[in-house]
Each structure stands twice: as structure tokens, then as C-alpha cells.
Amino acid sequence: MTETALQQASAATDTPRAYAALETHFTELAHLTRILGLLSWDRAVMMPKTGAQARGAQMAALTKIRHRKLTDPALGTLLDDATAEEDRLTDWQRGNLREIRRLYTRSTAVPDDLAEALTKTANACETVWETAKPDSDFAAVAPLLSELLNLTRQSAAAIAETCGMAEPYDAMLDTYDKGARYQDIAPLFSALEDWLPDAVNTAIAQQQESLPLGDPPPVEQQMALGQLLLDKMGYHGRFDTSSHPFSNGRGGDVRITTRFTGGPFTLECVLTVLHEAGHGLYDMQLPEEHNTQPVGGVFDLSMAVHESQAMVWERQIGQSLNFWKFLAAPARKIFGIDAQNPAFTPENLYRQVNTVEKSFIRVEADEMTYPLHILLRTGLEKAMIDGDLSVKDLPAAWNDGMKDKFGIVPPDDRRGCLQDVHWYGGDFGYFPSYLLGAMNAAQIFQAMRRALPEVDTLIENGEFVPLREWLRDNIHARGCLEMPREVIRHATGDYLQLDNFKTHLSKRYLDA
């Protein structure tokens, strides 16, 4: 704790002293966190490639400073003192204290040398993966992945022990989705797994073919359509291109990107904008008065809730027939497409974005098959963290899982266990949040429909602002006042249930 922090803290007379000192300390940490975000945005969107080495060193230096501040032993004492003041704190302050305690406890649970070894090994492993993937050469990256898994297991065990979690894998889940525990997720995933493979087969058998859309329009036109959507949604912020789409920033400076990969024209350009804008609106509508504090969502918003915001816009809204009843006309106008073109009717566009197909690649998967990709990965990473699956057996286990869930086996590891960067960059425990996000989104959208019975008409008219405002009032503006589970319950009236997701998929893909 710096002297300045304590001075400033004692100046704030209404706020208990130790808590106020924590706020001051975390204000600085919040600024550093936002700066790291900007450095990373710039690297992906603006920086010439020749700046990569220097930028890496800059980010490493700032990350180190941030880590030192986050693990400052004086914070431990302050946390104890602030806990004694807890009955004098407001709800938001108590939420903030809970978030601060979590950040400090998790950061200090892992010894510095282990944390450093993890970062270094993850960087090395990801670098090797970058060429191992195109070469489809799992053997090249296996030794580093083994080492990384070994360090990750140590780290997970240390966190689980310090935080009193039931098992090490919980520490990994908790990294991306605060408070998530395997014992809560397992029944949901398991019930979904029982139902989904057959449902996928039914959906494929039933679906009507759609007409192809022809060549892609110029990038400028696709960006213009994206901007039209963003304006309708009331998104205020930058909109750029990068090689992987992402969102960044908060409040008055939110930034999203989309990408253009070439190939035949799909409506990915629209769905990606909706997805990233869903993330962006969350960050834009976080509570401004808490924008330098953990409770304001600066450090650690749950990925499962964040992803749900993307999924509400992409899956629930953007893949509905009503949405295409709205967008077909502006899309035809911007792309210069004749009104009689049968490929650009709302119905054909709707069929296009909802085509179900079994495939090897997660990021290209449709809404119905996507969860199977996640179920596969969740099972494998749980086994790896538990010590029940070794890295050398991963490719075979992957292919067995594909056969079991999809009935197809990838012809090489490039399209198999090498396809995703996550594990190779040390991100075990991340995958489930994608599926939890989709499930949360279904439940949230059903709650939104109850609150706004005219939601279908609003979507058909492109009137998205009431939807955005409902999300703001019921989710975004509450920041991290409560834990993610409670966020979902507050917004929807219940904890996450599988039924809502199944109902949604059934209505869209099985009841046709």
C-alpha cells in the first residue's frame, strides 16, 4: 500500500478507512488493467507487425507491475481490517470487498515462481502450436503441452486448496466463470449430452435447403451494414477490423472488431457484429459510478455471463426469422441486390444462418452442433486436470469423442485436437463458458420476452433499443454486485436451467 493511497483514503471521511484504502489501491489497478486492454486492442487492430517485440515487452512490464500491486502483502492486512468494517459498508461496497478478496486470494494462492513458469511455458507452448497446427504435428507441441498441463495442475491444486474448492478443476472453471463449480455444471452438461446427438440428427433430417448467396459484397458494404445494425442497437464506440473479432474497453470507449476471411458469402458478417456488439453493449452499460472498482466489472466479469450477452444478440435475436424480416431489405439495398432475388428473402436468409451440419471445427459450427464440441472439450480437459488423461493420449481420446458424439472422425489433428489455441495457451476451463453462455442466453431471452411481450415486433421493426435497455437494467448496470449465478437469477427469476435451452433449440430446429 502506498502512502498516497492511505492519505487519500483517510480524506474520504464517510467511508471506513481500510475499505477506502482498498478502493484507492484498486483504482490504480483498474487504470493499469484498462491500459493493458488498450495495448492489446492496438496490437490487434492498429500496430504494424514490426512493433510486436517491443509491445510484448511493454505489456510484460506493465503486467508485472500490476501483479506486484495485486499481491502487495499490505493488501492482506487491509482486507482483514476492511472485513471488520463490513457492517458499515453499503451493498455495493460489500460486493466490492468480496471481489477484492477474491482477486487477492486467487493471486496470492499461486507462488510467484509457479505463476512465472506458467506464463513462460504458456507463451512458449502457444508459439510452437502456431506452426504445429498448420503442420498437423501434435508430437511437436506435446512435450510443452505436458509441461504446461503439469504446471496448470499444480496451480489449480493450490488455488482449490486456498479457496476451499471441492476439486482442482473448479479452480480452472472459476478463472473464467466466477463461482462456477463442476458439481453444478456436470448435471446440466450430462443431461444435454443425453439429448443432443439425436436432436442433431433429427434437425438435419428435417431441415430445408437454402439457396446460396453468391459472391461476397465489398468489405465496405458489409461494414456499412454492420454500422447500420450498431446504430439501431444504440452501440456507441469504435468498429474496426482485425484477424480475430473481439470486443474491448468500457463506458464511453468501447471498441469492437469484425473480420473478413474471403470465401463464399455467408451471413457471418452480420452474426459476428451482433456477437461482438453484444459484448460491447455489456461493457458500455456497466455502472459508470463504479468504473474503477472490481464491483464495476473492471477486472473479472464472468465469461459465461459475458458470452450470454453476445449470444442473446447473435443466437436469440440475430438467428430469428423476425430479425431477417427486418434486415433483408436494408441488406439488399446496401449490397445492391434485386428485391426479387430469391436468395435474399427473409426466409432464405433465416435458413442460411440456421443450417445444421456436423463438422470438425468448433468455430465454424452451427448452434445445434456447437454444444457437442464443448462437451467433448470439457470432458477431455476435466480428465487432463484430474490426471486421468495424459497429453500423449489426447489425439486418440479426441477422435474417440468425435466418433461418439458426431459419428465422424477428423482426418488429421489440425482439424482435431490442435484446432483451438486455448489449451496450448494455458486456458484450461475456458470452453464450458461458451456453452454456459449460450444456455444463459436462452434463459435470459425468455425472461426478456416475458417483460417485453412485443419483442418479436420490435425485432421485426429493427427497434433494438428497448432490448438493450432491458439488458442494461437487469444485467449490465448491476456490474459485479452479485456473483454470476445470482446475476442470472436476478434477471430471469431462476438459476440456470437446461430446459430453457432445450426449448429454444427444439422450437427453432425440431418443431419446423
Do 433 and 177 form a contact (C-beta atoms < 8 A)? yes
Residue 54 or 451 with smaller CB distance to a second copy? 54
Do 279 and 462 form a contact (C-beta atoms < 8 A)? no
Compute the C-alpha angle 315/316/319, nearest 5°: 55
Segment near a second copy (CB under 8 A), from 24-32, 345-353, 399-407, 450-458?
Answer: 24-32
* Cell reading at 30: 483498474
* Cell reading at 178: 466466477
CB of 30 to a second copy, least distance (A): 9
CB of 51 to a second copy, least distance (A): 3
Backbone angles phi, psi at 71, to 5 degrees: -110, 10
Do 482 and 98 form a contact (C-beta atoms < 8 A)? no
99 is catalytic: no
Segment near a second copy (CB under 8 A), from 59-67, 88-96, 261-269, 432-440?
Answer: 59-67
- Could you count the other beta carbons within 10 Å of the beta carbon of residue 284? 24
CB of 422 to a second copy, least distance (A): 28
Residue 181 or 236 with smaller CB distance to a second copy? 236
**Taking the alpha carbons of 77, 81, 83, 89 in that order, is the dihedral positive or negative?**
negative
**Taking the alpha carbons of 271, 274, 278, 280 in that order, is the dihedral positive or negative?**
positive
Q: Give buried/exposed letters for 456-474 (b at 16+ CB in 10 A, else e).
A: eebbbebebeebbebbbeb
Instruction: Please tell me the distance from the alpha carbon of residue 324 to that of residue 418, in angstroms, as a whole number.
Output: 35
Among 95, 237, 296, 297, binds a second copy (CB under 8 A): 237
Residue 237 or 395 with smaller CB distance to a second copy? 237
User: For 136, which DSSP code?
Assistant: T
Residue 216 or 249 with smaller CB distance to a second copy? 249
Contact pattern for a second copy over residues 375 through 404, marking x by CB under 8 A:
------------------------------
Among 137, 167, 253, 386, binds a second copy (CB under 8 A): 253
CB of 252 to a second copy, least distance (A): 3
Which residue from 433, 424, 437, 436 is spatially nearest to 384, judged by alpha carbons?
Answer: 424
Which residues between 120 and 179 bind a second copy (CB under 8 A)? none
Q: Which residues neighbour 377 within 8 Å (Cβ) at sequence distance 6 or greater?
A: 362, 420, 422, 431
* Cell reading at 272: 459476428
Which residues between 60 and 89 bind a second copy (CB under 8 A)? 61-62, 64-65, 68
Phi-psi region of 426 (alpha: psi -120 to 50; beta: other; left: phi over 0): left
Per DSSP, which regions of 251-348 are E strands?
Answer: 253-258
Instruction: Please tell me the distance from the alpha carbon of residue 80 to that of residue 69, in angstroms, as a whole number.
Output: 17
**Taking the alpha carbons of 248, 245, 278, 334 in that order, is the dihedral positive or negative?**
positive
CB of 110 to a second copy, least distance (A): 17
Among 245, 249, 429, 484, binds a second copy (CB under 8 A): 249
Among 94, 181, 232, 238, binds a second copy (CB under 8 A): 238
Backbone angles phi, psi at 357, to 5 degrees: -155, 135
Residue 51 or 407 with smaller CB distance to a second copy? 51
* Cell reading at 304: 459465461
Residue 162 or 292 with smaller CB distance to a second copy? 292
CB of 480 to a second copy, least distance (A): 18
Residue 5 or 328 with smaller CB distance to a second copy? 5
Which residue from 30, 27, 31 is spatially nearest to 5, judged by alpha carbons?
Answer: 27
Residue 255 or 504 with smaller CB distance to a second copy? 255
Which residues between 27 and 56 bind a second copy (CB under 8 A)? 27-28, 31-32, 34-35, 38-39, 42, 46-48, 50-55
Segment near a second copy (CB under 8 A), from 11-19, 73-81, 246-254, 491-499?
Answer: 246-254
Among 292, 345, 359, 474, binds a second copy (CB under 8 A): 292
Segment near a second copy (CB under 8 A), from 236-244, 261-269, 329-337, 413-421?
Answer: 236-244
Which residue from 364, 321, 401, 375 is spatially nearest to 498, judged by alpha carbons?
Answer: 375
415 burial level (CB within 10 Å; 0-12, 13-18, 19+): middle
Among 134, 212, 218, 252, binds a second copy (CB under 8 A): 252
**221 binding a second copy? (CB under 8 A):** no
Residue 55 or 101 with smaller CB distance to a second copy? 55
CB of 298 to a second copy, least distance (A): 11
CB of 467 to a second copy, least distance (A): 22
**291 binding a second copy? (CB under 8 A):** yes
* Cell reading at 410: 477428423
CB of 48 to a second copy, least distance (A): 6
Residue 133 or 468 with smaller CB distance to a second copy? 468
Instruction: Please tell me the distance from the alpha carbon of residue 326 to that of residue 318, in angstroms, as a whole number.
Output: 10
Among 76, 179, 197, 251, binds a second copy (CB under 8 A): 251
Instruction: Please tell me the distance from the alpha carbon of residue 168 to that of residue 154, in angstroms, as a whole number.
Output: 9
CB of 239 to a second copy, least distance (A): 11
Task: State the Rg of the chain over Cα.
Answer: 23
Out of 23, 276, 314, 381, pick the active-site residue. Answer: 276
Three-state SS at 185: helix
| Binding interface with a second copy (CB under 8 A) | 2, 4, 27-28, 31-32, 34-35, 38-39, 42, 46-48, 50-55, 57-58, 61-62, 64-65, 68, 236-238, 249-253, 291-292
Catalytic residues: 276
